[in-house]
Amino acid sequence: MSDTLAKGPSRPRVWFHVDVNSAFLSWSAVLRLREGGPDTQDLRTVPAAVGGDEEKRHGVVLAKSLPAKQHGVRTGESLFAARQKCPGLIVIPPNFDWYVQCSKAMFNIFSDFTPDIEQYSIDEAFLDMTGTEELFGPPEAAAAALRRRVREELGFTVNVGIAPNRLLAKMASDFEKPDRTHTLYPPEIPAKLWPLPVRDLFGVGPSAAKRMNELRIFTIGDLAAADPDLLLRVFGARGDVYWDYANGRETAPMVRDTVKDSSYGNSVTTAQDLHRPEQADATLLALCESVGARLRADGKAARVVTVQLVDAAFRRQSHQTTLPSPTNATETLYRTARELMRAIWPRLGVRLVGVTAEKTGTERFEQLDLFTDARRSEKQEALDRAADELRRRFGDTAVLRAKLLEPETRGPGALGAAKERDKRKNPKREEK
C-alpha cells in the first residue's frame, strides 16, 4: 500500500531510508583492517575497487571508493577500463559471505530502533519510525544515533534519508555522502529535489531520461511541472508515476509486502568469447539444469523463461516467452531457452549467458496436447528427480548429461555454470 504524505489526522508518517556508503568496498575495507596490522591501508581512503576475477572474465567493478570515483571509475564498467582511468587502482575480489555477515549485523541494529523494517537490498532498508519520538527523540536525533551505532559497532558508515514516505526518504539518502542524515519534507521539495537532473529520480532509467530530455524536461522540477497528459501519451501508465514521483507522491509502491512471484535464475561469464550459439548450448543446458533443480526442490514450476546475453562490448539483451503450461522439467526449460538464445544471438562474441524462470506457482501441472507422449513426460520427471537426489547425496558432478561432456559443444564454463550462486530475484538496485 502506498503512503500519502501523512497518515491520520495528527500523526504524520516518518520513514527512514538507510543505505550503506559504497557497501561492498566499505565492508571489504573493514575486513581488511581487522585482519591486517596497524599499518594496513584503509581502502576507503585510496583509489580502490571491488571487482571480479579478471583471469576468469568476471572483471567488472562492483563497488569503488570515493577517490576512485573522483578518477572517473564507474560501477559496472570493466576493470580494464577502470585501470585506464586510474592506473594505480587497487582491486580486491568480493567476499559475499562476509557481506552477508555485515548486512545481518546492521539489520540487528535496525531492530533496536523499530520492528517495522522493509529490506530493500543487502545494504539498504526502509524503517517505519512513526511514533518513536518518545523513545529516541526527533527523527534527526534518532538517525544520528543509528548512524553512530553502525559506525562504532560495525566500522562502516551509512546515510539516512528522512521523509514522510519511502520515495522521498530514498531520494534524501542519496544526497551528499558519506555518513550523513538528510531530510526531504514536502516544503523542502522545491529547493532540494526539483533542481536535480531528471535521471536522478527513482524509477527513471536512461532511455526514459533521454526521451524526457527530447521533450525539454531536464530536471525533476521540469517533470513536476510537465503536462500529465503529455507524459501519459508518451510513457503510458508509467507517465503518471513519473509525474507523481517528481511531485513527491509515492502512488506506486516501491516495495512489496511479500514476494509472491519469485524467480529463479543463474548466469555465467564465459572464459572466452563464444561466437556461435552451438558453443553456448552446453553452458545453457547446465544453467537450465541448475534452475530446474531449484524449482523442483522448492516444489515450484515456472511459466515464463527468459534468456539473457551480454556481448563482448558489454551490451545486454534478453528475450522471454510464456510457456503453454508451468514446468520445472530441465528438458523443457532447455529446449525453450535454446530457441530464445538463437533468436537474439549478437554479431559480436558472447561473454555472459543467463537463464531465468519466473511466474512460478506451487502446483505443477502439464497440459498435454494430442502430440505429447504422457509416458515420456512422466519418465522425464522421474529422471530429473532421480538425478537431483544423486547430486544431493554425492555432489553436483555425480550425474552429468552427455552433452556436457561433448568437447565440440562444451562452451567454456559449462561445467561450472550449474554451481553459480543462487540468484533468486527481489527488487534491488545495483551496488552503488
**Assigned C-alpha cell, 404:** 556436457
Beta strands 48-51 and 90-92, pairing class: parallel
| Complete DSSP assignment for 79-143 | HHHHHHH-TT-EEE---HHHHHHHHHHHHHHHTTT-S-EEEEETTEEEEE-TT-HHHH-SHHHHH
**Assigned C-alpha cell, 366:** 502439464
SS3 annotation, 198-216: HHHCCCCCHHHHHHHHHCC
Q: Which of 77, 124, 331, 381 is catalytic?
A: 124
**CB-based burial of residue 109 (10 Å sphere; 0-12 exposed, 13-18 middle, 19+ buried)?**
middle
Rounded Cα distance, 260 and 360, in Å: 9
298 neighbors 259 (Cβ within 8 angstroms): no
Catalytic residue status for 133: no
**CA-derived radius of gyration, the chain:** 24
Quick one: residue 71, left, alpha or beta (phi over 0 = left, psi -120 to 50 = alpha)? alpha
Active site residues per annotation: 124
